[in-house]
């Protein structure tokens, strides 16, 4: 009997576990847990720290607009309709100088509204929409901090950052000094925590840890205390690379802990101030300084305010927060508006979006296995990857060749023609965009030449649309040999490019010669010891290819030395117009004549490595003064203020000129590019 009763109990428990009641109970548990998270995200929090951060962010964006956003150079960036731009989406087009001036004007008023907290959400949109449009309009200007500023703008859009230190609070009592949901702080803290942490994770790359990413920084005046005990090379390796790696990787954790926060914020502040002097990165260090208080107690400004006033400064209840239940009522009326008591679907949706944003920010920096078309020697586009300063580039040569397939003529185009900077040539997708832009401009010039009826001039232009564009880029990544980046025989106008496919004309980095970097460093030190103007250039090339080079007459004592492989050195005799060649193997060297072209063919089965040693003419005194000022002068605060004031005035000159054009048809002035 007892056995039967025990068996019945087991069956009953089994049926209960597999039945609907168990599922219903489990769903309730899950719902309760999620709603607890929602309540935590919406719990009332002091608005003062968020208000101060909002004010500082808006102020810094006002300063940033004339500078890194290009407000002082609107005419140079957007004035010439023939200039090549590199939009992320082809549908985005340059609307022209007058319209771009209006967009910058909208951003300026938007940033001002963010700072003052006036019509807050409208001003965030007024700033954010043009900001993202201009950012997506040209990938060649992308930076990590440009992406960061855009993300912060989106996060501020849904926040209640105008509940403190704002005109909205002054004009509307329901917003004046009222609680804000905790998620307003959480999501911003998360974003800046990930900024540091992901930058640290990216620095686990051996290129960074072995000290090859950054160079020649140890002589800067910001490292004067370290220069007393360390050499310049040791400062580059230990302070710049290793200390930078450890700080980025751990500083977010130290600032989250109250016990370690003061010393962590001191190190972080010094780090950002040093970066502001070392690099030209605009407002990024200052934005990081302005957002550091997010990691402190939310009420820290109120404590400072309490020192100067005896009034009751405690924040009041707000309708945007969720308060504890009171007498089982969903809402409670206070001062004419209702306080939310229960979790609603809107609250749950916002928390889902926040969780989605957190997941997206963790995924995007490692999403390059999907967007293979944007992978080159480095993975992904610069911006959302957070690989800050991990890769250094040194480009010596960019050759753009246009071939008229009808006439067989070849034209060489200046790689700086119709471009704003040289970042495009490091990215295969931008090279394709440049090739098509170049074709359109050449066809337009050809048509203008036809219309001018100048028969002699026609020989300098293409004869049809049947052309090919080839790009040969020689650069060094992280102190390696200079080598070509793309197949120079690949027609970019016929490129088979897709965001989801590997770039088929990309040449691999010659990583098998990484060990040569220490040898190259030793050779460089020896060459530099010859004289103040001696220099060396290291080059590697692939089998079956050749480098055609022209040595300027400003150089003296030029010598080619083979370090690895086998090459044929070929130079054209000016008297007989015949090519004379000599085979060179490892250790061989040959003097190089200046003022004429020569070719270096790689004939070995493996890539060749060789170097040019030479002596430059004496550097100009002006260049030496600029270098000395940059490396050794104290804070150039007065110069910074003057340059920013001048940039601000120039931006408003452009905006004023565009208004006169739109209203009265008065022609505007565009500066010529130097």
CA distance 318 to 177: 9
Q: Are residues 346 and 424 in the same domain?
A: no
- At 533, list the tokens: 């103007």
Please state the φ and ψ torsions of residue 545, each to the nearest 5 degrees.
Answer: -115, 170
- How high is the pLDDT of residue 343? 85
**Torsion angle (degrees, nearest 10) of CA 450, 455, 456, 459:** 60
- How high is the pLDDT of residue 589? 92
Bridge partners (DSSP) listed for residue 536? 613
CA distance 272 to 285: 5
Q: Are residues 236 and 337 in the same domain?
A: yes
Catalytic site residue 439? no
DSSP assignment of 576-587: T--EEEEEEETT
- How high is the pLDDT of residue 407? 86
Helix or strand or coil: residue 433?
A: helix
CA distance 169 to 172: 5
CA distance 611 to 564: 10
Query: Percent of the chain, pLDDT > 70?
Result: 86
Question: Which of the residue ranges 208-222, 332-346, 495-509, 586-600 would you say has the lowest mean pLDDT?
Answer: 332-346
As a whole number of Å, the CA-based R_g of the chain is 31
154 burial (CB, 10 Å; 0-12 / 13-18 / 19+) is middle
Write out the residue range of the structural domain in which residue 129 sits.
42-365
CA distance 365 to 198: 8
Domain boundary among 568, 600, 617: 617
- At 380, list the tokens: 């992904």
Winning range, highest mean pLDDT, from 401-410, 603-612, 631-640: 603-612
In the predicted model, what is the mean pLDDT of the chain? 87
Task: Give whole-number Cα distances, 147 to 69, 125, 386, in Å.
Answer: 12, 16, 10
CA distance 501 to 103: 35
- How high is the pLDDT of residue 496? 92
pLDDT digits (tens, 9 = 90+) for 611-660: 999 998 765 444 444 444 445 455 555 667 788 889 999 999 999 999 88
Residue 276 lies in a domain: yes
DSSP assignment of 8-25: HHHHHHHHHHHSHHHHHH
Among candidate residues 175, 178, 202, 203, the one labeled active-site is 203
Q: Are residues 585 and 486 in the same domain?
A: no
Higher pLDDT: 241 or 576? It is: 241
CA 467 remoteness from chain centre: 34
Residue 139 lies in a domain: yes
Residue 573 lies in a domain: yes
**Torsion angle (degrees, nearest 10) of CA 411, 415, 420, 421:** 170
Q: What is the mean pLDDT of residues 434-448?
A: 90
Domain boundary among 365, 384, 411: 365
CB within 8 Å of 525: residues ≥ 6 apart: none
- How high is the pLDDT of residue 14? 44
Residue 626 lies in a domain: no
Q: What is the mean pLDDT of residues 599-610?
A: 94
Q: CB-side exposure of 398: number of CA atoms within 13 Å?
A: 16
- At 178, list the tokens: 């009222």
CA distance 393 to 606: 24
- How high is the pLDDT of residue 309? 78
Please state the φ and ψ torsions of residue 165, each to the nearest 5 degrees.
Answer: 55, 50
pLDDT digits (tens, 9 = 90+) for 253-273: 999 999 999 999 999 999 999
Crossing angle of the two packed helices 183-202 and 284-291, in degrees rounded to 10:
130
CA distance 544 to 300: 67
Q: Are residues 307 and 405 in the same domain?
A: no
- How high is the pLDDT of residue 665? 84
Question: Which of the residue ranges 135-139, 573-577, 612-616 would you say has the lowest mean pLDDT?
Answer: 573-577
Q: Are residues 170 and 53 in the same domain?
A: yes
Q: Is the pLDDT of residue 455 over 80?
A: no
DSSP secondary-structure letter at 506?
B
- How high is the pLDDT of residue 384? 87
Residue 548 lies in a domain: yes
596: CATH? 2.60.120.10
- How high is the pLDDT of residue 527? 94
Q: Is the pLDDT of residue 326 over 70?
A: no
Residue 459 lies in a domain: yes
At 567, the pLDDT band (50, 70, 90 cuts) reads very high
pLDDT digits (tens, 9 = 90+) for 144-182: 999 999 999 999 999 999 999 999 999 988 898 999 999
Task: Give whole-number Cα distances, 195 to 50, 138, 147, 203, 351, in Å.
Answer: 19, 23, 11, 12, 21
CB atoms within 10 A of CB 460: 12
CA distance 500 to 429: 12
Q: Are residues 397 and 265 in the same domain?
A: no
- How high is the pLDDT of residue 121? 96
At 243, the pLDDT band (50, 70, 90 cuts) reads very high
CA 368 remoteness from chain centre: 16
pLDDT digits (tens, 9 = 90+) for 491-502: 999 999 999 999
Query: Percent of the chain, pLDDT > 90?
Result: 64
Q: Are residues 57 and 10 in the same domain?
A: no
Q: Are residues 457 and 593 in the same domain?
A: no
- How high is the pLDDT of residue 618? 65
Winning range, highest mean pLDDT, from 28-32, 276-280, 422-426: 422-426
Residue 520 lies in a domain: no
- How high is the pLDDT of residue 26? 52
CA nearest to 245, candidates 286, 289, 198, 281:
198
Residue 601 lies in a domain: yes
Q: What is the count of structural domains for the chain?
A: 4
Q: Are residues 125 and 207 in the same domain?
A: yes
Q: Are residues 490 and 545 in the same domain?
A: no
Higher pLDDT: 327 or 409? It is: 409
- How high is the pLDDT of residue 595? 86
Q: Are residues 268 and 176 in the same domain?
A: yes
- How high is the pLDDT of residue 654? 92
pLDDT digits (tens, 9 = 90+) for 473-516: 999 999 999 999 999 999 999 999 999 999 999 999 999 999 99
- How high is the pLDDT of residue 389? 85
Q: Is the pLDDT of residue 27 over 70?
A: no
Q: Is the pLDDT of residue 220 over 80?
A: yes
- How high is the pLDDT of residue 458? 46
Q: What is the mean pLDDT of residues 94-109?
A: 95
- How high is the pLDDT of residue 670? 82
CA nearest to 567, candidates 606, 527, 515:
606
- How high is the pLDDT of residue 667? 84
Q: Are 520 and 538 in contact (CB under 8 A)?
A: yes
Question: ∠ at Cα 13 (12, 18), nearest 5°?
Answer: 100
Q: Are residues 329 and 344 in the same domain?
A: yes
DSSP secondary-structure letter at 179?
-
């Amino acid at each position: 009997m007892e056995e039967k009763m025990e068996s019945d109990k087991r069956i009953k428990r089994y049926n209960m576990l597999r039945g609907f009641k168990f599922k219903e109970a489990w769903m309730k548990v899950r719902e309760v847990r999620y709603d607890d998270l929602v309540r935590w995200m919406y719990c009332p929090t002091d608005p003062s720290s968020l208000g101060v951060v909002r004010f500082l962010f808006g102020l810094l964006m006002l300063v940033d607009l004339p500078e890194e956003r290009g407000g002082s150079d609107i005419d140079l960036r957007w004035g010439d309709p023939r200039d090549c731009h590199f939009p992320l989406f082809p549908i985005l087009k340059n609307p022209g100088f007058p319209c771009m001036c209006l967009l910058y004007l909208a951003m300026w008023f938007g940033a001002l509204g963010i700072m003052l907290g006036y019509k807050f959400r409208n001003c965030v949109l007024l700033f954010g929409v043009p900001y993202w449009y201009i950012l997506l309009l040209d990938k060649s200007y992308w930076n990590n901090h440009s992406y960061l500023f855009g993300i912060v703008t989106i996060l501020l859009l849904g926040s209640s950052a105008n509940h403190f230190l704002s005109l909205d609070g002054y004009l509307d009592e329901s917003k004046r000094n009222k609680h804000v949901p905790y998620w307003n702080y959480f999501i911003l803290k998360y974003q800046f925590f990930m900024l540091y942490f992901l930058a640290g994770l990216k620095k686990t790359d051996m290129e960074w840890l072995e000290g090859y990413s950054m160079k020649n920084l140890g002589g800067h005046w910001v490292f004067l205390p370290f220069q007393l005990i360390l050499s310049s090379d040791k400062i580059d390796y230990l302070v710049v690379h290793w200390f930078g790696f450890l700080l980025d990787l751990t500083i977010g954790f130290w600032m989250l802990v109250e016990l370690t926060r003061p010393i962590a914020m001191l190190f972080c502040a010094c780090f950002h101030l040093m970066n502001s002097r070392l690099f030209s990165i605009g407002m990024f260090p200052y934005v990081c300084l302005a957002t550091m208080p997010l990691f402190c107690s939310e009420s820290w400004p109120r404590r400072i305010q309490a020192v100067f006033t005896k009034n009751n400064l405690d924040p009041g209840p707000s309708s945007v927060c969720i308060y504890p239940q009171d007498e089982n009522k969903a809402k409670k009326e206070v001062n004419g508006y209702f306080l939310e008591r229960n979790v609603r679907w809107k609250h749950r949706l916002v928390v889902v979006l926040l969780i989605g944003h957190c997941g997206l920010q963790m995924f995007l920096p490692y999403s390059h296995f999907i967007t293979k078309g944007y992978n080159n020697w480095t993975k992904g586009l610069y911006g959302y990857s957070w690989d800050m300063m991990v890769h250094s580039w040194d480009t010596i040569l960019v050759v753009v060749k246009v071939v008229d397939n009808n006439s067989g003529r070849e034209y060489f185009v200046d790689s700086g023609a119709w471009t704003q900077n040289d970042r495009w040539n490091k990215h295969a997708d931008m090279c394709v965009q440049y090739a098509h832009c170049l074709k359109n401009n050449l066809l337009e010039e050809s048509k203008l030449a036809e219309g001018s009826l100048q028969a002699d001039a026609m020989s300098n232009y293409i004869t049809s649309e049947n052309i090919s564009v080839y790009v040969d880029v020689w650069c060094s990544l992280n102190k390696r040999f200079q080598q070509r980046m793309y197949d120079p025989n690949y027609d970019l106008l016929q490129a088979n490019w897709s965001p989801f496919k590997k770039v088929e004309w990309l040449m691999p980095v010659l990583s098998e010669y990484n060990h040569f970097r220490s040898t190259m460093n030793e050779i460089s030190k020896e060459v530099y010891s010859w004289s103040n103007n001696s220099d060396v250039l290291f080059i590697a090339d692939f089998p079956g290819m050749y480098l055609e080079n022209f040595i300027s007459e400003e150089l003296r004592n030029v010598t080619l030395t083979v370090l690895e492989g086998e090459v044929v050195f070929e130079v054209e005799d000016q008297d007989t117009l015949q090519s004379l060649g000599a085979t060179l193997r490892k250790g061989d060297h040959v003097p190089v004549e200046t003022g004429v072209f020569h070719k270096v063919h790689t004939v070995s089965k493996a890539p060749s490595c060789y170097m040019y040693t030479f002596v430059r003419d004496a550097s100009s005194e002006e260049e030496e003064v600029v270098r000395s000022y940059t490396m050794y002068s104290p804070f150039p605060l007065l110069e910074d203020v003057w340059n920013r004031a001048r940039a601000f005035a120039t931006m408003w000159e452009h905006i004023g000129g565009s208004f006169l054009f739109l209203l009265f048809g008065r022609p505007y002035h565009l500066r010529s590019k130097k």
